[in-house]
Structure 1
Amino acid sequence: MPPPSRTSWLRLPRPKSFLGLMSLQTGTELASIALLFNKAIGVYGILTLFTGYSLSALQVTAYLYSVLVLAALALCAPHIRKLSPLHTLALAWVHAVDTIVSAAYTAAFAAGWYLAAAHGTAGLTGAGEEGAGAPSNREAPPRRQQQHDEPQAQAAQGKAGGAGVPDTAASIVLVVAFTLVRVYFSLVVMAFARMVLLRFVDERMDEAHDSSGASPDPFAVGAPLGEGWRGRLGRAMVSFGRGYWLGGRKEDEEWARQVNSKFRSSRR
């Protein structure tokens, strides 16, 4: 038996089921429904433009992007149960790209919120210093009263400064958790699209693997799905990550054997 290769452990995960309980097709449908609800807010965001509500350029682009994702879902999602190679592959790309773009938007909004909060805190601090340094016509309170009020003022200031720390930590945890869920959903949809492609190759094309062990491209010129703009679009999508979409089953079998052998050795 050949020794396990290190590169096989660095490959992109290929789930075989959804949460170990449901099929990849069901997982793809649930992931698409979740993405649908997530992007539906873009429609309401566009409607706010007609009410005269002021929005930043970043918010406008985010809402327009949500509408584009909804349109792509409307075109691709109905073909999940039809096992259409082109539409399932396009749906996988929609989920993958949306995961990256949504993470970028989240980081941009978080940075803007942090800068605005820091600016507001600095403004309040500056106003407090100006108020403390401004001359006053009132008489200074007795020294005993000053000693009594100083600890209370320091405690109140510390409480105001640290009030946002738990909220910020909770927000970061939620953002990271939702991002991980998005990544898992994308992996499930991509694995489903890969399964549909390989099944189509098995049923409609001859098993003629190339030197790298990859299956033939169903969108190639002269292939069953290689005609017209659909073929060009399919070839463009498959060209990025060809080893993943059309990778041979030998790699999957080798990876499964390595995982099983490592699991058995860990139990001894």
Structure 2
Amino acid sequence: MLSIVPRHYFLGFIPLAAGAELITVFGVVNKASGIYGLLSIFTGHPITAAQLVLNIISLILLPVFLYALHSVRRQQALPVVAFSYVYFLDMLANLAFTIYFSVTWFRVFDATATAEAGKGTASSLDTASERGLSITIIVLALLFKVYFCFVLFGYARMLVRKAGLRSDNGEGKYMKQLQFIMLAIAPSFWRRGGRRAGKGRMVNTLEEGIEMY
């Protein structure tokens, strides 16, 4: 699965750095929309508990995305790695909310379609086509979200390798611990050369031990 993470380009022709910045900008705009969602409370517009929670999460993450945009532009490896994990968790949360909202919407849609069919105002073919189009749009949106996550991890990996970061060479008490935690997950993904590099270092260590002996 890690092999499908982009190495150099976003969408096949846009530099990975530009793609990561573009994705982060989209994320900032998306999180800022939570402001308008909360304003609907004061305008008397009906809002569900799930929508309220989603808007609150968006506002909480807005400063994180703004700081991440600054880090992406300045090519700061460790903050970008942290943001990649945050984006991944946010993607999982969005997936859960999307499934919930989709199921709710389809229930309302089916009830409305059934009522219209009883009145003879809608055909089953129209209902099926609308449902199919909705499902297609939802699936495509989720696939793009997953791809965006891969792009961010690809860009973070590029910065990590460029800076020569490893799980064991962090600086500062807390930053060292944070770096260890983030880069210790799937270490072969972050290393240059992946598993081969890890095997190479193991062989070199054994050879050095034999020579010392």
TM-score scaled to structure 2, two decimals? 0.79
User: Contact between 1:77 and 1:91, CA under 8 Å: does it hold in 2?
Assistant: no
Equivalent residue letter for 1:174: I
Aligned equivalents of 1:168 and 1:69: distance in 2? 32
Aligned equivalents of 1:119 and 1:232: distance in 2? 53
Once the 2 structures are TM-superposed, how far is the Cα of residue 12 of structure 1 from its aligned partner? 4.1
Once the 2 structures are TM-superposed, how far is the Cα of residue 233 of structure 1 from its aligned partner? 2.7
Query: Could you say what the CA RMSD is over the residues aligned between the two structures, in angstroms?
Result: 2.6
Aligned equivalents of 2:23 and 2:149: distance in 1? 8
Matched, 1:164 2:108: no
Once the 2 structures are TM-superposed, how far is the Cα of residue 190 of structure 1 from its aligned partner? 0.5
Alignment match of 1:178 (pick from 130, 141, 145): 141
Q: Which runs of 5+ in 1 are unaligned?
A: 1-9, 129-152, 206-215, 254-268
Q: Which residue of 2 aligns with 1:192?
A: 155
Aligned equivalents of 1:54 and 1:100: distance in 2? 26
Cα-to-partner distance string for 1:7-61 (whole Å, 9 max, x where unaligned): xxx5442212112222211110111112222222211011122334332111111
Alignment match of 2:37 (pick from 35, 40, 45): 45
Q: Which residue of 1 aligns with 2:178?
A: 233
Matched, 1:105 2:97: yes
Once the 2 structures are TM-superposed, how far is the Cα of residue 97 of structure 1 from its aligned partner? 1.9
Aligned equivalents of 1:51 and 1:235: distance in 2? 47
Equivalent residue letter for 2:46: S
Matched, 1:95 2:87: yes
Aligned equivalents of 2:141 and 2:80: distance in 1? 23
In terms of fraction of residues, the more helix-rich structure is 2
Q: Which residue of 2 aligns with 1:144?
A: none
Aligned equivalents of 1:105 and 1:165: distance in 2? 24
1:55-134 correspondence runs (5 A) = 55-120=47-112, 124=115
**If you compute each CA radius of gyration, which structure gives the higher value, 1 or 2?**
1
Q: Which residue of 1 aligns with 2:193?
A: 249
Aligned equivalents of 1:235 and 1:39: distance in 2? 29
Equivalent residue letter for 1:242: P
TM-score scaled to structure 1, two decimals? 0.64
Aligned equivalents of 2:178 and 2:158: distance in 1? 19
Equivalent residue letter for 2:42: F
Aligned equivalents of 1:64 and 1:234: distance in 2? 29
Q: Which residue of 2 aligns with 1:13?
A: 4
User: Contact between 1:76 and 1:87, CA under 8 Å: does it hold in 2?
Assistant: yes
Secondary structure (helix, strand or coil) at the match of 1:112 reads: helix
Q: Which runs of 5+ in 2 are unaligned?
A: 198-213
User: Contact between 1:80 and 1:88, CA under 8 Å: does it hold in 2?
Assistant: yes
Secondary structure (helix, strand or coil) at the match of 2:43 reads: coil
